[in-house]
Structure formats: structure tokens, C-alpha cells
């Protein structure tokens, strides 16, 4: 006997059938029956994976610089960071959509997602989510013990609790800040024999400020719909004070990057490219974003995925100069 509740779309059948759901790259390379599962992990929206990926890479490169890690090992660890970010982001999005399916049905931007549109059942999505979590734990079991613990914390409690918070607090972005950036700790612990708790605390704090910035901008897209369906966010909490909040977060991000460079004894490329480039990029963001325009908010949110390159290039330049024993003269 079929489960009627699970098979019934949250949108009415007639309405769901009228929805023009675009098939984005790379989804059109996959069979139609598979696409809803790939949409759940946001395969067609890579920015979220980038935002999970960059903290892993930053933690790895900080540790590589500190320890003099070989380039071959560094390249392999970069690949591991990418897979880790993909696994955690996909599982987190699937869990989020299961919890938020009724909310998503009432928000214009999200009503065509697989669950609210009825293209996949709750049971199927749950099995898919559990499979991702199980694979993630198995993949992370290859890490050293401390790195394994950090990765599993990010995968399970941090990612699984976040969707529930938007129902009870206007600060879900605060929890997301830890969720998105805990990969820093896992990546550092993978290649370093010791844990530099002060450096990691500073970098996670900086990543937290960064996440508060870009996810508040992201939340600005849906403020009207969020009020109707009962979703809470920092965008709603701060109202007309959003821009000062974002500027404060940006200052915190830049300041912690600078302090982390001092703690890890980084070189001039780090301070010029990572810190200076980040400040310039953030100024450009504030000069171009229109927080009352959902399209502008979406564009600016995506730009934060690009900001990760700037932070990494300075880190990578320092690392390469150090392992090749090259000293820059100024």
C-alpha cells in the first residue's frame, strides 16, 4: 500500500503541472528520474559547494605553510577538500529541504524544488539524505582521529541542526557560520601534528563573520515570503540596519584574516593579496549590492564564492615561496 501523505505534492497537482521548471547545466546530462536527487544536493548551483570548499582549502594551506608540506601531498589534499565539501554541502541541502518543504512551497524562489513541487517523496529524499551521511562518515574515517571528529561534527550536528533554528530564532545564520567554516579545523588537523587552537579560533571567527555577511544578503531575497511563511533570519531581524551589520561583519572578517596572518607568521604576499584583496573585494560588494533587489542579492551572494580565490591565492603564494625557499625583496 502506498503512503498517501508522502506521494502528495505540497503544491496542488494542477499547479505543480503548470510550473515551468528549467533544466540547468549539468542536469540535462542525466535521466529525468535522477534529476530531483541531484537538485536536492544543488548540483546545478555550485556556489554553496565553493563556500564549503574554501574554508577547507584555507585551513589546509595554512597548515601546509606551517609544516612545509610537499606539493604532491598538498595537491592530493586539495582533492580531498573538494570531495569533503561536496559531500557535506549535498547532505546539508538534502536535510534542509526535507525540513523546509512546507516553507519552500510558500516562497516563490523555492516552490519548484523537488519536494514542494512533488517530484520526489519525503521517504525517497530521506533515504537519499541518510545515504549521503553514511557515505560521508565512511569517507572521513580515512582521516586522522582529530580531523575525523571535526569533519563528522560538521557533517552531522552542525548541518542537521541548522534547518530547525530558523523556526525558533532570528539568528540561524550564526549557527550556519560555524557549520560552513568548521572544515578549517578538519583540514588543518589532517596535515598538522598539533592543533593550534588560537589560530583556528581566529580563522573560524573570521569565517563566521564572512558567512553572516553572505547569508544575510542571501536571506534578503526572500524577506517578504519569509514573513508570510514564518521563517526567521538576520535579514528580518535587523531590517533597515542590515547594511551596518554587513559592514561590521566585513570588518571582522578582514581583521581576523590579518590577525591570523600574524599568528601563522605569513609573508608579504598573504597580507597584500589575501588581506588587501579581500578588503578591496568587500568594498566593491557594498558599492554594487542593492539589498532591496533580489537579483542583486543573488549576484552578490555568488560573488562571495569568487572571494575565496583571493584569500587562497595569497595563502598559496606564501606556501609556494616558502617550500621553494624564495625570499622576496622589497
**Rounded-to-integer distance, Cα 21 and Cα 170, Å:** 31
H-helix segments, 25-121:
35-40, 47-67, 71-99, 101-105
Q: What's the pTM value of the predicted model, to 2 decimals?
A: 0.91
pLDDT for 24 equals 85
> What's the average model confidence in pLDDT over 199-208?
98
Instruction: Kindly state the percentage of the chain with pLDDT values over 70.
Output: 93
Per-residue pLDDT, averaged over 248-257, amounts to 98
Averaged pLDDT, 131-153: 96
Place of cell 581566529: 202
Residue-level pLDDT at 189: 96
Contact 222, 287 (CB under 8 A): no
All structural domains of the chain, each given as residue ranges with its CATH number in brackets, are 22-322 (1.10.357.140)
Give the pLDDT confidence score for residue 215 in this predicted structure: 96
| pLDDT tens, position by position, 279-307 | 999 999 999 999 999 999 999 999 999 99
The pLDDT score that the predictor gives to residue 250 is 98
Instruction: Report the pLDDT value the prediction gives residue 8, as an integer from 0 to 100.
Output: 38
For 163-187, the three-class secondary structure string (H helix, E strand, C coil) is HHHCCCCCCHHHHHHHHHHCHHHHH
Amino acid at each position: 500500500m502506498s503512503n498517501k501523505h508522502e506521494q502528495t505534492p505540497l503544491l496542488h497537482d494542477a499547479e505543480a503541472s503548470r510550473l515551468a521548471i528549467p533544466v540547468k547545466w549539468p542536469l540535462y546530462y542525466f535521466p529525468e528520474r535522477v534529476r530531483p536527487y541531484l537538485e536536492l544536493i544543488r548540483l546545478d548551483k555550485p556556489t554553496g559547494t565553493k563556500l564549503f570548499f574554501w574554508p577547507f582549502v584555507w585551513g589546509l594551506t595554512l597548515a601546509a605553510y606551517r609544516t612545509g608540506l610537499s606539493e604532491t601531498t598538498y595537491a592530493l589534499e586539495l582533492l580531498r577538500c573538494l570531495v569533503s565539501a561536496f559531500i557535506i554541502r549535498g547532505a546539508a541541502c538534502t536535510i534542509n529541504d526535507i525540513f523546509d518543504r512546507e516553507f519552500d512551497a510558500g516562497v516563490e524562489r523555492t516552490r519548484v524544488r523537488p519536494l514542494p513541487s512533488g517530484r520526489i517523496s519525503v521517504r525517497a529524499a530521506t533515504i537519499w539524505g541518510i545515504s549521503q551521511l553514511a557515505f560521508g562518515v565512511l569517507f572521513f574515517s580515512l582521516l586522522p582521529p582529530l580531523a575525523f571528529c571535526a569533519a563528522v561534527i560538521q557533517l552531522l550536528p552542525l548541518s542537521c541542526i541548522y534547518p530547525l533554528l530558523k523556526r525558533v530564532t532570528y539568528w540561524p545564520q550564526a549557527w550556519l557560520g560555524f557549520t560552513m567554516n568548521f572544515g578549517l579545523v578538519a583540514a588543518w588537523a589532517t596535515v598538522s601534528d598539533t592543533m593550534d587552537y588560537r589560530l583556528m579560533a581566529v580563522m573560524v571567527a573570521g569565517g563566521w563573520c564572512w558567512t553572516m555577511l553572505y547569508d544575510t544578503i542571501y536571506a534578503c531575497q526572500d524577506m517578504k515570503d519569509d514573513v508570510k511563511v514564518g521563517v526567521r533570519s538576520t535579514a528580518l531581524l535587523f531590517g533597515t540596519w542590515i547594511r551596518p551589520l554587513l559592514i561590521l561583519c566585513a570588518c571582522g572578517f578582514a581583521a581576523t584574516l590579518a590577525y591570523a596572518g600574524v599568528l601563522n607568521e605569513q609573508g608579504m604576499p598573504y597580507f597584500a593579496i589575501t588581506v588587501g584583496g579581500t578588503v578591496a573585494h568587500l568594498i566593491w560588494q557594498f558599492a554594487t549590492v542593492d539589498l532591496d533587489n533580489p537579483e542583486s542579492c543573488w549576484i552578490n551572494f555568488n560573488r562571495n564564492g569568487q572571494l575565496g580565490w583571493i584569500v587562497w591565492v595569497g595563502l598559496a603564494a606564501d606556501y609556494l615561496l616558502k617550500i621553494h625557499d624564495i625570499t622576496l625583496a622589497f
